[in-house]
Homo-oligomer: A and B are copies of this chain.
């Protein structure tokens, strides 16, 4: 008997695609968001207590803020503008009103950042707290997709990576070694309240970049996804990893491998794009070059030597080893 833990998250997504009939939508299952006729863009993300957030690590307001941000980030990756949100809250009866008020408060705060609003929802009883947020947005023209990367393209990101993952490591760690407090807080805040790159997504779309994804599972995993969707390979340059300074400082103090954190740590919500040299030179977004689109494979290149790029990103269903 094949179980979900055998398939893994990405195997499961492939299965789902095989179970669904072909769609008439512009973009269906398998990209960051669906795109319908008329420029409507939609995405849903579920956040489960203990898996995606912990109320002893984040306030309820942080959780609400982040739930909106991770959804909006999926719209940003298509080049769309967020407009409306629907929120399904599954909660145990014992949860306190104040916690729920803070949760909604955080969502409303994030909505004001993104000029969006919550227009509907559902509330049901469950044994664990689950938030399912649907974000609806609008798009003019063609969406950015994962599948347009071309051999020779530059791979670039909209900002430095690793803070959110370093923040999680700090929260997990019982290590008494000292870190610089402001660097630690920057990393923990990046984990608690990531901000989606909406304006950058819009400019990148207008510039016609070839492919885009939001980095939610780590640079390595998400670069691999662009490669797979585009039928090409990707090469990340180890000497150009976009390491966030705060994350580097924390990693150094704790003796952690910052390279793994940057390659494998998700949730910074930066965008990864594939674009031509000309687009890179003329684009109005500050981009950090991290690699190249190549014929095939997923590679980490260092001083001219290629090694296979692992996928240390988070897989929801694989049994931990």
Contact = CB atoms under 8 A, between A and B. Distances in A.
A3 B94 CA distance: 6
Interface residues of A, number: 74
Interface stretch (A16-24, A164-172, A231-239): A16-24
A19 B132 contact: no
A320 to B, nearest CB: 10
B104 A3 contact: no
A95 B3 CA distance: 6
A6 B95 CA distance: 10
Given A88-B45, A128-B126, A134-B134, A93 B4 contact: yes
Contacts of A301: none
Contact of A88 (B34, B46, B118, B126): B46
A281 interface: no
Interface stretch (A36-44, A141-149, A287-295): A36-44
Contacts of A89: 46
Interface string A265-294: 000000000000000000000000000000
A122 interface: yes
Contacts of A243: none
Given A96-B1, A119-B28, A132 B44 contact: yes
Contacts of A93: 3-5, 317, 319
A130 interface: yes
A270 to B, nearest CB: 20
Nearest to A127: B128
A127 B105 CA distance: 27
A51 interface: yes
Interface stretch (A7-15, A155-163, A190-198): A7-15
Interface string A112-150: 000001111111111110101010100000000000000
Question: Quick one: which of A13, A40, A126, A316 has the most chain B CB within 10 A?
Answer: A126
B100 A44 contact: no
B25 A117 contact: yes
Closest 9 CB pairs of A and B: A132-B132, A34-B120, A34-B119, A5-B93, A46-B88, A2-B97, A19-B104, A125-B316, A44-B86
